Structure 1
């Protein structure tokens, strides 16, 4: 009698366990669950790629600054040199005595315009 009770309870436990496992798996395979899982995996992958891209950009910025410092040192460039004022040369001086002076002339720079 004790053997039968043991095997009966073992069978019931195995049945409950198997039913629970099957129900969990069925819930995981519903379209809503699959869509949610795929969305979560996509978000995780996107976050990982973003972190790697940010890390790469920071590495590039650091290495660029280091290389620029090395080149400045090798070339003897000062840290904050004073640059001369930019030179401005007018294309045509607006002087009536200049033979190239044309008053109130507009120029079209549209290459698609018929000439």
Structure 2
């Protein structure tokens, strides 16, 4: 009697386990589940590609800066400049009425408005 009860319980447990396993697999194969799985995998792939692209861009930027420094040294562009830069020959494009440099006389400030006469 005990032997039959044992095998009956084992059969019930195996049946429950197999039914649960089959139901999980069927749920994984529904269209909604397949779409969600595909979307998750696409997001994972996109994240990996983006991370690699960012790493590649950083490597390129570092190597570009290193090569630019090498070229500057080779061409003598990294040497300090003895002469200061020349002063700009043109006045600023933005009108500054408070600066005395732009005042023609005491009453009228000089205007750079190209459309003023038209």
Alignment: residue pair count:
86
- The 1:49–1:69 alpha-carbon spacing in structure 2 relative to 1, beyond 3 Å, is same
Q: Tell me what 2:72 maps to.
A: 72
Aligned residue number for residue 16 of structure 1: 16
Q: 1:11 to 1:45 in 2, by over 3 A?
A: same
CA distance in 2 between partners of 1:73 and 1:47 (Å): 39
TM-score, L = length of structure 1: 0.67
Residue 30 of structure 1 aligns with which residue?
Answer: 30
For residue 84 of structure 1, report the CA deviation from its aligned partner. 9.4
Residue 5 (structure 1) aligns with:
5
Which residues of structure 1 form unaligned runs of 5+? Answer: 86-115
Cα 1:58–1:48 shift into 2, 3 Å:
same
Which structure has the higher relative contact order (CA within 8 Å, separation 6+)? 2
Instruction: Map 1:53-92 onto structure 2 (within 5 A).
Output: 53-78=53-78, 82=85
Partner Cα distance (2:78, 2:87) in 1: 15
Instruction: Give the CA deviation at 1:78.
Output: 2.7
SS at match of 1:77: coil
Q: TM-score, normalised by structure 2?
A: 0.66
**Other-structure match for 1:101:** none
Q: CA RMSD in A?
A: 2.2
| Displacement over 4 Å in runs of 4+ | 79-85
- CA-CA distance at 1:3 after TM superposition: 0.8
